[in-house]
Chain A
């Protein structure tokens, strides 16, 4: 167990920037953007109040008056449920960045140490190829996402705090009840974690394919990673005139993201999405493919590094 956790740590040391710094920077940028985004709103609300005071100089406009004024012009509500979509948007940004990072990570991970020859150092350690590769998979599917989830939740919490302080304290606009807001935050956080795991399960064959490419190629793993499926699609179109490969790959990617979106926007959708997943033959075939690619990567790592 200690061996395995050391393997995962090793991946974090290697990918410090993309696993640790990138989500923190993303959080910083999103919080910064929100603060910037308040400025035009502030201006608008101030303008609205000014107009009101000019029309009725004897009435002071404040608090719920602002709210009712706003209601005339915008869709505003004190229903905490609407916060979910804000959280979901933020979490989706993190998930997309993470997916991009993982695509590069898995494509490079069994190739970079062959390129710089440090593979001889790793191979001098009493760690089996299987543990090496499972460690990498765990670092990508669970380890890095944990950091990204932490950063995403921190960003969500910061958004909530900024919202409450701005609306509640600066304008004294009624905000949803504290309990409802906190409850929504946690529900949505749980949705993020479970939604990610569901999406990652759909994407396992893709991750394993990328890893297999990085173990297989002599040079430029991304060429095989992208070119392989592309060649298959073109060849099928050309020879058979059909486009099953494109459909299968496309629908697999879409399915993972679709389930993720539904779950982070509405946690109660989870049981249905779970059922839809486990009853999809394509999902299980994907897992079988992932297992086969993983075994092939282990074999490649043990036998095809002399190239």
Chain B
């Protein structure tokens, strides 16, 4: 099976700042990848390269196409919603539908109208009259009505309240995603997409510091909750991160023997947010 995104040695520098540091990366079809990193880690640069919006050095193909040279063709198969969500304010909802119908060969107006009927958005409204939540609903309805192979979401739920955020992701899963589609999403709200992802990438300073399927996480990472009265043997492996919890501390170990760790305290697979902090902050320990 051909990967949807194939990158080798992808590199981009803005002056002396390195935004992408020779990244190698494959994304297979039917996956939902979370790209998670602190601000300025290179997420948006990577997405721009994938969408052909900005050049980058190295080898990159998306659906077998060169994003810079074949951007128009690529965008028939790739949809995206950018963080700063950006539908033009003077556009009417009905005009947005007509526009996509006119320029996008894979857009279904019926489907978009079906999605819109579930919301409170009226087709004669102007974009500027919609609330932020409705705007995201509208954009999502437009994008979900496109039968594309890759959907790129850059902080799609930024600034939305929790109801809209939940609704956004459940609509995406129930009405859009199937084994022929691939989704690449970046977000700061890690907890909300944790159960949605099949794969996760942590990016820091332009480098991937974690890149694996979600189901492999529990083999590689273990969180142990150690109570304060428990002594840690001297020969115990070093945790990659320790944080205080009520009555003790939580330690995250990488590639450590689970049966040994279970003698120290309760073990579980760390959640993504804690793992993110552990990997991004490195060996530093929270005081």
B55, B75, B86: the one contacting A125 at CB < 8 Å is B75
Contact A6 B53 (CB under 8 A): no
Q: Find B92's partner among A13, A122, A126 (CB 8 Å cutoff).
A: A13
Of the residues A118, A123, A125, contact of B103 by C-beta under 8 Å: A125
* A216 vs B217: C-alpha distance when bound (angstroms): 48
Q: Which of B93-101, B202-210, B263-271, B273-281 contacts A (4 or more CB under 8 A)?
A: B93-101
Chain A contacts for B87, CB-based, 8 A:
118, 121
Are B88 and A121 in contact, with the CB atoms below 8 A?
yes
Closest to B91 in A: A13
Please tell me the size bucket of the interface on A.
20 to 34
How many B residues touch A, CB cutoff 8 Å?
Answer: 31
A125 to B76, CA, bound (A): 7
Instruction: For B233, list chain A residues within 8 Å (CB).
Output: none
Report the Cα distance A122→B72, complex, angstroms: 11
Closest to A130 in B: B72
Q: Determine whether the beta carbon of A124 is less than 8 Å from that of B72.
A: no
Q: Does B213 contact A (CB under 8 A)?
A: no
Q: Are A9 and B98 in contact (CB under 8 A)?
A: yes
Nearest residue in B to A3 (C-beta to C-beta)?
B103
Quick one: which of A121, A123, A128 has the most chain B CB within 10 A? Answer: A121
B105 within 8 A of A: yes
CA gap between A7 and B99 in the complex, in Å: 8
Distance from A20 Cβ to chain B, minimum over Cβ atoms (Å): 13
Encode contact with B along A1-22: 1 for CB under 8 Å, 0 otherwise: 0110111011001101000000
- Among B32-40, B77-85, B234-242, the stretch that binds chain A is B77-85
Contact sample, A vs B, 12 pairs, CB 8 Å cutoff: A9-B102, A10-B95, A116-B86, A118-B89, A119-B86, A121-B82, A121-B87, A124-B81, A125-B100, A126-B75, A128-B72, A306-B54
- A contact residues vs B (CB 8 Å cutoff): 2-3, 5-7, 9-10, 13-14, 16, 113, 116-128, 303, 305-306
